[in-house]
Structure 1
């Protein structure tokens, strides 16, 4: 496929800790990542006290850009964005770096102001997250931390503060020792710089807190390694701090699920995040699937790529995996019918949970393209491991559980482990999709009769015509077996004629 048919887009982010290159293309009405390159340049560690960048740091950066330049040759210049952030922004000798870097890349690098960087971070979060609630966004970089509050795609207040995990390492963990004193000094140091911001942000308010930096990603990976919901809490941060202090030294850091590349900066990142939590009185934070690079990318894309992000993602997956669209719509219709019959009792007032049910109805057969026997596991894997703009990690956990358990045996622990909704709500959603799939077993529009449904807290009743059940013995038998399956999640099923 030529780039004319499927244009490539590239974003290069010269961060204070790492240099990133993201290459994507438009495919099936969605954005597909074609390539990602990341190099730990640690540019900020080359800044001296006078904010002069060392020759060694400049050399590391230029070597990395020579790798990136090779990949840019195939991409139209108008489809490329190259930006530099905090370290180059504050370096007094930035011109010495930029002149050589521009020549290597063959394009100009735009040095983002702190406000520009924060604004693009928010756009990246907004375009890859679902919901209209007000969001508070944290992004901890190597030399700066961005704090943004906004609603939908509009940022209401953006701030960039000169605190970062690389610079804080040099300032508070220069001896690479991990103890109470180093941590407390780092936390207090961060609080001093952000304390004055709290009242103005609190006045605007928010309902959801998101983060997209390497620190949050690393902490989320630790939680997932231990099969816990990927929601970062203040309590969890204090646990990680205690584990790090127990390790005693950077060289001795051993935390299950923590990647080796994050070990050198995890202590300073955790200290800054604790300061943010305590200053802004945050209870928990969710990992965002997008930040600066995604914000820059979506600015380049046609406007039709920026709307209805979840449905665009669902449509793309259905197209890529050749899902029977007609059958998926029938299952969704039956799920809606059952939901309306059950909800007067169940009172599922969680709009996001209902959205996950609808998504599961449309995606429950994406694994069939690979094979039938294990298609439920394949479907769950695609959702767990895939890039799904509009679905955060907790959404993916619930969605994965629903498609994996939509028929046959039920493992309640998969639903208990997710954090997108209450466990009982997840049980109810699973019961709805399972019954909808059974009722649509014939995969024909004219098969289903008019029927009634109702529910109690722990029971479901379906009123189906006797002659219809007699004409469909397989469906009748599966409904009979379903009673035993649903018992595992505390629900009974009663079929009345």
Structure 2
């Protein structure tokens, strides 16, 4: 409340509501330090598509479920300016012949207009949501399996090039092919065959366009990834892995018995139908591997309201935001990053540091190595690692975030090799090599002045490193000598050989 007792308008808070065919979602964010900070997420399983009959009439029961959910959302919207709110409806509301009945009551509940978007517009917004939250310079394929439609997009940067919205989804396929709740080969085969037929209507143009990376932006893809991680595998989804998961589901026999490690309870009902659609997509489009994106429709709608954050390098925006929010000394962070780049440039071919975006991860680790100083000095490397582990970092995959956490955790003091060993995509050897270079960069930059940085040479014989400093330099810098000698001991304790000359 302000001094007059009126509600305060939160001009820096934004809300997006997505009226999906399976779930209704509300996302609330605050713009902080040049980036968005999520301050609220609400999700309710409405299964609107399940109430759509063969005549495309939405049942009163389904509409009531939707209205009851929106009544919960409405309270959170009261203090947000209308200009900062967007509400969109997707496939089921596109199809329903009695949609005006649903919308009239829904808009009265929310006090806001609802926009029912076309399939092509939904695909475009989904792609922008992925582009604004995931870092990728090459062509990418984006897949989003919704409750009643599946969007397929190929684009580059922030520009979608091919857009399709197909009439298949995890709720509609559940009703059509798994109505008896049996997990049988007949049910799976029928669902996969129907999905393949639908995908083939657009597949030729996608195969001709081509892509370098494939990402999934839906709950189905997230569920598959969580199952893989829950079973001790890395996060890359492949066709053999999907088919193996289907065999595990078949072994359960019935939806009531479906119990796979990593499968969340809330995803179980639509899991088989989503899996069937995903298998069909992999088969028809010859997808070799897929990872989970950082955002989709809601994020695309959100960033359309934030022109100041559009068309920026996603990872650079995240780095800048983290440095501002946690009061990192940006000049020193850049100094350490420059030193790390200098060392890496002398070894990057021999040590293959460019693989898995290793050089970019080294720079990011250098920029964030003092992240935890805002809490306290002694264990600031642990605090920084904790923040990274639990922060939303647009532009970084889960595997990259895990590597970044390991680098910051190990940039000083004792080396914890078990943390370095927990990499799901990056090789452990690369994580070790990046850690060693970051540690040396931090020590060599400890005076926090560019003019006292030494001209250094670094060489490697296999994994044995030799750091060569200018003649007499160590004699004039006794503290640096002591720090480097201590670092030799730290690395020896970890089983790594380091020599200082």
TM over 0.5: yes
Q: CA deviation at 1:386?
A: 1.2
Match of 2:5 in 1: none
In 1, the alpha carbon distance for the partners of 2:200 and 2:210 equals 16
Conserved in 1, the CA contact under 8 Å of 2:151 and 2:164? yes
Cα 1:77–1:240 change in 2 (3 A) is same
Conserved in 2, the CA contact under 8 Å of 1:127 and 1:389? yes
Cα 1:419–1:208 change in 2 (3 A) is farther
In 2, the alpha carbon distance for the partners of 1:194 and 1:343 equals 42
Q: CA deviation at 1:489?
A: 7.5
Q: CA deviation at 1:412?
A: 4.1
Conserved in 2, the CA contact under 8 Å of 1:140 and 1:165? yes
In 2, the alpha carbon distance for the partners of 1:270 and 1:344 equals 41
* Matching of residue 20 in structure 1 with residue 25 in structure 2: yes
After the TM superposition, which residues 83-102 of structure 1 pair with which residues of structure 2 at under 5 Å, given as runs? 83-102=88-107
In 2, the alpha carbon distance for the partners of 1:58 and 1:414 equals 49
In 2, the alpha carbon distance for the partners of 1:146 and 1:305 equals 22
Secondary structure at the aligned position of 1:147 is classed as strand
After the TM superposition, which residues 87-126 of structure 1 pair with which residues of structure 2 at under 5 Å, given as runs? 87-126=92-131
In 2, the alpha carbon distance for the partners of 1:6 and 1:402 equals 37
Match of 1:370 in 2: 375
In 1, the alpha carbon distance for the partners of 2:370 and 2:307 equals 30
Conserved in 2, the CA contact under 8 Å of 1:458 and 1:490? no
Aligned length: 496
Conserved in 2, the CA contact under 8 Å of 1:332 and 1:361? yes
Out of 169, 189, 204, the residue aligned to residue 199 of structure 1 is: 204
Secondary structure at the aligned position of 2:269 is classed as helix
Conserved in 2, the CA contact under 8 Å of 1:228 and 1:417? no
In 2, the alpha carbon distance for the partners of 1:183 and 1:488 equals 53
* Matching of residue 145 in structure 1 with residue 147 in structure 2: no
Name which of structure 1's ranges 253-262 and 3-12 shifts more when overlaid on structure 2: 3-12
In 1, the alpha carbon distance for the partners of 2:418 and 2:231 equals 14
Out of 50, 54, 59, the residue aligned to residue 49 of structure 1 is: 54
In 2, the alpha carbon distance for the partners of 1:82 and 1:5 equals 18
Cα 1:235–1:368 change in 2 (3 A) is farther
Match of 2:137 in 1: 132
Give structure 1 stretches of 5+ with no counterpart: none
Name which of structure 1's ranges 302-311 and 161-170 shifts more when overlaid on structure 2: 302-311
Name which of structure 1's ranges 114-123 and 351-360 shifts more when overlaid on structure 2: 351-360
Q: CA deviation at 1:435?
A: 1.0
Secondary structure at the aligned position of 1:196 is classed as coil
Q: CA deviation at 1:13?
A: 0.4
In 2, the alpha carbon distance for the partners of 1:206 and 1:486 equals 41
Conserved in 2, the CA contact under 8 Å of 1:397 and 1:420? no
In 2, the alpha carbon distance for the partners of 1:177 and 1:366 equals 51
TM-score of the superposed pair, with normalisation by structure 2: 0.93
Conserved in 2, the CA contact under 8 Å of 1:220 and 1:287? yes
In 2, the alpha carbon distance for the partners of 1:162 and 1:314 equals 39
Out of 323, 337, 341, the residue aligned to residue 342 of structure 2 is: 337
Out of 271, 276, 283, the residue aligned to residue 271 of structure 1 is: 276
Name which of structure 1's ranges 303-312 and 140-149 shifts more when overlaid on structure 2: 303-312
After the TM superposition, which residues 31-70 of structure 1 pair with which residues of structure 2 at under 5 Å, given as runs? 31-70=36-75
Cα 1:339–1:226 change in 2 (3 A) is same
Secondary structure at the aligned position of 2:180 is classed as coil
* Matching of residue 321 in structure 1 with residue 326 in structure 2: yes
TM-score of the superposed pair, with normalisation by structure 1: 0.94
